[in-house]
Structure formats: structure tokens, C-alpha cells
């Protein structure tokens, strides 16, 4: 099972999710750590190669951007509430910056 590592403020941001959204996010990240795919996800190539978005639909819309392609860990790049149909550019840019930090 891969280690879970949070980049930047991702852990604090995730802690601000409502309790049920946090719980569901935990189940989904556990599946990723074990090599499985989350229930509802999509690739996010604009963030970086191998980056994905987990979608949580509880008490609003919540998103967790992560990358699991590295051997040592699953990196959570960003966690946020989605308030519009399209993912805001600032959230994508933040996740992409954090992706570049971990990929060297």
C-alpha cells in the first residue's frame, strides 16, 4: 500500500470539507493507495501526466486532485469545493504548480 502525502495546504483544505465529504474522500483515497480506482474520477492532463480528480457529491461538490504514478506515494495536490460547472483556472494552476514541485 502506498503512503499518502499531502502537498502544500491540501490536508488543511480537505479538513475543511463537511464530515461526510471527508469520510467519502478517505474511502476513495484508501482505494487509490491500494491500487484501485476511485468510484467517480476523471483524468486531469492539464495538471500533469497521471493526475486525476476524485469527485465527491455530498453537501455540495468537492474535488480532490491527486497523482499516484510515482512508486513511493500517492500525492494529494489540491482539495476544494467546486462551485461552477468548469473547474476554476486558479485551482488547476495551483495543482499544476504542486505537481511540478513533486516531479522535480
pLDDT of residue 19: 98
Give pTM, 2 decimals. 0.96
- What string of pLDDT tens digits covers the 104 residues of the chain? 999 999 999 999 999 999 999 999 999 999 999 999 999 999 999 999 999 999 999 999 999 999 999 998 999 999 999 999 999 999 999 999 999 999 87
pLDDT of residue 18: 98
* Helix (H/G/I), strand (E/B), else coil: 103: helix
What is the rounded distance in angstroms from the CA atom of residue 3 to the CA atom of residue 68? 10
What is the rounded distance in angstroms from the CA atom of residue 75 to the CA atom of residue 77? 6
Fold of 3-103: YaeB-like fold (3.30.2310)
CA angle 82, 64, 77 (to 5 degrees): 120
Amino acid at each position: 500500500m502506498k503512503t499518502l502525502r499531502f502537498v502544500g495546504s491540501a490536508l488543511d483544505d480537505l479538513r475543511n470539507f463537511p464530515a461526510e465529504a471527508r469520510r467519502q474522500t478517505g474511502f476513495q483515497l484508501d482505494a487509490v493507495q491500494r491500487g484501485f480506482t476511485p468510484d467517480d474520477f476523471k483524468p486531469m492532463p492539464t495538471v500533469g501526466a497521471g493526475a486525476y480528480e476524485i469527485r465527491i457529491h455530498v453537501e455540495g461538490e468537492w474535488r480532490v486532485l491527486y497523482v499516484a504514478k510515482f512508486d513511493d506515494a500517492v500525492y494529494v495536490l489540491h482539495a476544494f469545493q467546486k462551485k461552477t460547472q468548469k473547474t476554476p483556472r486558479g485551482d488547476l494552476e495551483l495543482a499544476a504548480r504542486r505537481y511540478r514541485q513533486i516531479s522535480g
